[in-house]
Amino acid sequence: MDAILKYYLEDGHIEEISNYTVDSKEKGRIIYEVIRVVNGVPLFYEDHLKRLELSFRLMNKPFSYKYDKIKDYLISLIKANKVEVGNIKLTFDIKTDTMKVFSIKHNYPDSDMYNKGVKTILYHGERTNPNAKVVDNNFREKVTEEIIKSNAFEAILVNNNGYITEGSKSNIFMIKDETLYTSPLEEVLPGVTRGRIIALAKKNGVKFEEKNINYKDIKDFDAMFISGTSPKILPIECINEVKMDVKNKLMRDLMQIFDEEINLYIEKFKK
């Protein structure tokens, strides 16, 4: 069962968790979002809903929900389950037109991972329709198998042209000579954290470029990091056998700036 805690929402109605039914595993049938809750606040929920709407469009599905209504769903579930910290998942079944909102297990990096970085591997494969956040269990299972086999934290995907695209469940950034790089938007899932990082980098005068990077060139970069709802900004210690600088100043500055952004958002939301 995906859903945890006492209650979940189905089409806006609070239900006992005992009534929850697992979503279909059919490829491309379930559109979803995962939102992090910090201090009882659904973090950057507006950005997530914009991406949800984009996923609907890419799946040729009309998006008939009002953002404020979904916000109400999130708040009601957070209050019902008394969630201070955790992840909430929204799923939409495009065949039954059913929306569910429920708490799921979360696994956040510990302080040691943020200090020392994490191990990653390269995986040659790409998601179909990368801009849409839809369930593809077959692809995810294959990548997860390789991650577990390698005792890694994440797999960095390499497309058919040899370019780095994204992580299996994250976005990837690279740093070289005080310039921040990431893959072109059309090649990846438009991550909420990815978008915030780019905006903060530009706001703080950091040189930034969206660029196709061949996986053979990763050895030429100073640092790389993972971005995502759960990891936030997480340093990469190595990609296969290639070592990275986990103390890179630009990366550490971005980590601090992003944490400050989270705190400001929470303060504003609670006013």
Question: Of 52, 84, 104, at which residue does a domain stop?
Answer: 104
**Cα→Cα distances 137→141, 144, 145, 158, 226, Å:** 6, 10, 12, 19, 22
Residue 271 belongs to some domain of the structure:
no
Q: Are 234 and 255 in contact (CB under 8 A)?
A: no
Question: Of 73, 104, 135, at which residue does a domain stop?
Answer: 104
CATH number assigned to the domain comprising residue 86: 3.30.470.10
- 153 and 248 together in one domain: yes
User: Residue 1's pLDDT is what?
Assistant: 57
pLDDT in tens, 47-71: 999 999 999 999 999 998 999 999 9
Written as six digits, the tokens of 52 are 């949800």
Written as six digits, the tokens of 161 are 């042209």
User: Residue 136's pLDDT is what?
Assistant: 80
User: Residue 73's pLDDT is what?
Assistant: 96
User: Residue 130's pLDDT is what?
Assistant: 81
Compute how many other C-beta atoms are within 10 angstroms of the C-beta atom of residue 23.
20
User: Residue 207's pLDDT is what?
Assistant: 97
Residue 270 belongs to some domain of the structure:
no
Q: Which domain holds residue 36?
A: 4-104
- 150 and 215 together in one domain: yes
- 164 and 206 together in one domain: yes
User: Residue 134's pLDDT is what?
Assistant: 81
pLDDT in tens, 116-139: 999 999 999 988 778 777 878 888
Low-confidence ranges of the chain (pLDDT < 50): none
Q: How many domains does the chain have?
A: 2
* pTM of this prediction exceeds 0.85: yes
- 148 and 211 together in one domain: yes
Residue 43 belongs to some domain of the structure:
yes
